[in-house]
């Protein structure tokens, strides 16, 4: 097998690759296709000198990685975080390839990122940085090439600036270049809530499979951003008690269930969960160890590891975040019989509705929210049942089943396009 080039070598890349290698081995994937998919197709590193509000110029680093475009244009979020690096972005791009293939979307995987702390930048600085990043990656993005979307630290405003910069270069409005935009410039109804809505559909299907009722079920959600907030809100709407949530500063716990509306209002006004009056402050470690029906990691990668997976006290883990469980953590959960719904299935609601947004942009015809939510439910529940069926018939866990289904579609496409015998 091809060695991992040092540029990509990172713990997240090794984790994602280990999962792919295990599935490729189980699947007896053609070694040429296997070798090709171990590395990204294209990776661009850029530097951006930005004038800060105080007059200084700071040089930021950014990345865009396209993993595989055999199924169509590549698709994936843009992350603004101080620890972004090429290896992490490449691992997330690879994960997007598996996710799009599993959901049956006509996309390959991509990811982008800027190494920065968005919380310490003013809105004007963020806008200048986003526009310069878009100009730097302009040659490789576009509605038919590669379509960015929001991820950790980015939102609809960032997508609007990206769309505007790209459109200026082209000379016409090109809404299909990004998804997760504001509705007024071609965004889709239901996109903001889509990942959380999809996570909750998967929680409900998993509970049906395990014979658990919503009444009496409890959840903890790690991360209170786009994915975490909507997941917590939709769970409580279905009568599932959310007993703990957290952000990067702390966790909060209330054994009677948190009022997610009040928690959201507190977080929006203070930008932190600290000081929330109707709950007890806990650490992120304690949050993961809270007794509950389902743990939903919806923050960053590497949160459930070999050293803490044995402390989880839940029946299931539904991965809202990308790559939240390390290879070692996964082995512990498997041994303990905890039902794990992998990220490439559990959080695919975001890219599914991004696909709907892109289709609406290309058609220049917009759908009703009800139709979007129903289609999302249909896509994700179909994928869930396909993965569960495969897992039961082949006696493999849900992660292996999801990977095998995804790889089969990719392998068929590589062969059909005549690239491999």
Which structure tokens are listed for 278?
Answer: 């109707």
The residue among 125 and 192 lying less far from ligand NAD, judged by its C-beta, is 192
Which structure tokens are listed for 284?
Answer: 């992120």
- The least distance separating ligand NAD from the CB of residue 250, rounded to whole angstroms, comes to 9
212 binds ligand NAD (CB under 6 A): no
Residue from 39, 70, 152, 235 in contact with ligand NAD (CB under 6 A): 152
3-state secondary structure at position 385: helix
Number of residues binding to ligand NAD, judged by CB under 6 A: 24
Of 229, 224, 263, whose CA–CA distance to 247 is shortest? 224
Residue from 248, 262, 274, 363 in contact with ligand NAD (CB under 6 A): 248
Any bridge partners for residue 146, and if so which? 74, 142
The residue among 29 and 196 lying less far from ligand NAD, judged by its C-beta, is 196
Q: Are 293 and 309 in contact (CB under 8 A)?
A: no
Residue from 195, 201, 326, 361 in contact with ligand NAD (CB under 6 A): 195
Residue from 150, 175, 186, 329 in contact with ligand NAD (CB under 6 A): 150
Distance CA 399, CA 71 (A): 21
Distance CA 207, CA 202 (A): 9
Residue from 247, 289, 330, 357 in contact with ligand NAD (CB under 6 A): 247
85 binds ligand NAD (CB under 6 A): no
164 binds ligand NAD (CB under 6 A): no
Catalytic site residue 99?
A: no
Q: Are 255 and 243 in contact (CB under 8 A)?
A: yes
40 binds ligand NAD (CB under 6 A): no
Q: What is the DSSP letter of 179?
A: S
The residue written with tokens 């499979």 in the block is 209
Q: Find the residue with minimal CB distance to ligand NAD.
A: 225
Specify the pairing of strand 42-51 against strand 57-68: antiparallel
Q: Are 93 and 65 in contact (CB under 8 A)?
A: yes
Question: Which CA distances in Å does 18 have to 224, 253, 297, 338, 403?
Answer: 29, 35, 21, 20, 12
Q: What is the largest CA-CA distance in the chain?
A: 63
Please give the residues from 336 up to 355 whose contact with ligand NAD meets the rule CB under 6 A.
347, 350
Site string for ligand NAD, 213-242 (x = CB under 6 A): ---------xxxxxxx--------------
Residue from 153, 186, 190, 329 in contact with ligand NAD (CB under 6 A): 153
Residue from 73, 186, 187, 320 in contact with ligand NAD (CB under 6 A): 320
> Judged by CB under 6 A, which stretch of 37-45, 100-108, 297-305, 403-411 contacts ligand NAD?
297-305
321 binds ligand NAD (CB under 6 A): yes
Given the residues 111, 181, 241, 267, select the one marked as catalytic: 111
298 binds ligand NAD (CB under 6 A): yes
Distance CA 10, CA 8 (A): 6
DSSP alpha helix (H) spans, 28-155: 31-37, 86-103, 123-137
Catalytic residues: 111
Q: Which residues bind ligand NAD (CB under 6 A)?
A: 150-153, 195, 222-228, 246-248, 284, 298-300, 320-322, 347, 350
């Amino acid at each position: 097998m091809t060695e991992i080039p040092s540029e990509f070598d990172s713990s997240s890349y090794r984790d994602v690759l280990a999962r792919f290698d295990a599935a490729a081995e189980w699947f007896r994937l053609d070694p040429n296709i296997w070798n090709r998919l171990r590395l990204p197709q294209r990776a661009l590193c850029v530097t951006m000198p930005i004038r800060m509000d105080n007059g200084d110029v700071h040089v930021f680093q950014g990345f865009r990685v396209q993993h595989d475009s055999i199924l169509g244009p590549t698709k994936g979020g843009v992350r603004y975080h101080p620890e972004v690096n090429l290896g992490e972005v490449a691992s997330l791009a690879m994960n997007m390839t598996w996710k799009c293939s599993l959901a049956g979307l006509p996309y390959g995987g991509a990811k982008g990122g800027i190494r920065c702390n968005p919380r310490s930048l003013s809105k004007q600085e963020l806008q200048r940085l986003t526009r310069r990043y878009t100009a730097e990656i302009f040659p490789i993005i576009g509605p038919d090439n590669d379509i960015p979307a929001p991820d950790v630290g980015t939102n609809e405003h960032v997508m609007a600036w990206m769309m505007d910069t790209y459109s200026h270069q082209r000379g016409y409005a090109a809404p299909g270049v990004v998804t997760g935009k504001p509705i007024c410039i071609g965004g889709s109804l239901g996109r903001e809530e889509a990942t959380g809505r999809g996570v909750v559909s998967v929680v409900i299907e998993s509970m049906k499979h395990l014979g658990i009722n919503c009444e009496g079920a409890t959840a903890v959600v790690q991360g209170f951003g786009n994915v975490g907030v909507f997941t917590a809100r939709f769970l409580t709407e279905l009568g599932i008690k959310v007993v703990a949530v957290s952000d990067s500063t702390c966790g909060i716990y209330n054994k009677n269930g948190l009022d997610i509306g009040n928690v959201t209002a507190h977080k929006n006004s203070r930008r932190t969960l600290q000081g929330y009056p109707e709950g007890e402050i806990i650490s992120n470690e304690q949050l993961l160890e809270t007794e509950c029906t389902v743990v939903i990691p919806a923050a960053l990668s590497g949160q459930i590891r070999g050293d803490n997976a044995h402390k989880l006290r839940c029946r299931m883990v539904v991965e809202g975040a990308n790559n939240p469980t390390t290879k070692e953590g996964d082995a512990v959960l498997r041994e303990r019989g905890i039902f794990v719904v992998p990220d490439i299935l559990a959080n695919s609601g975001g890219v599914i509705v991004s696909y709907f947004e892109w289709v609406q942009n290309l058609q220049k015809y917009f759908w009703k929210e009800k139709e979007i939510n129903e289609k999302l439910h249909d896509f994700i529940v179909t994928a869930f049942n396909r993965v569960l069926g495969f897992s039961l018939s082949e006696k493999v866990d849900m992660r292996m089943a999801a990977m095998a289904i995804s790889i089969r579609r990719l392998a068929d496409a590589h062969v059909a396009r005549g690239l491999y015998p």
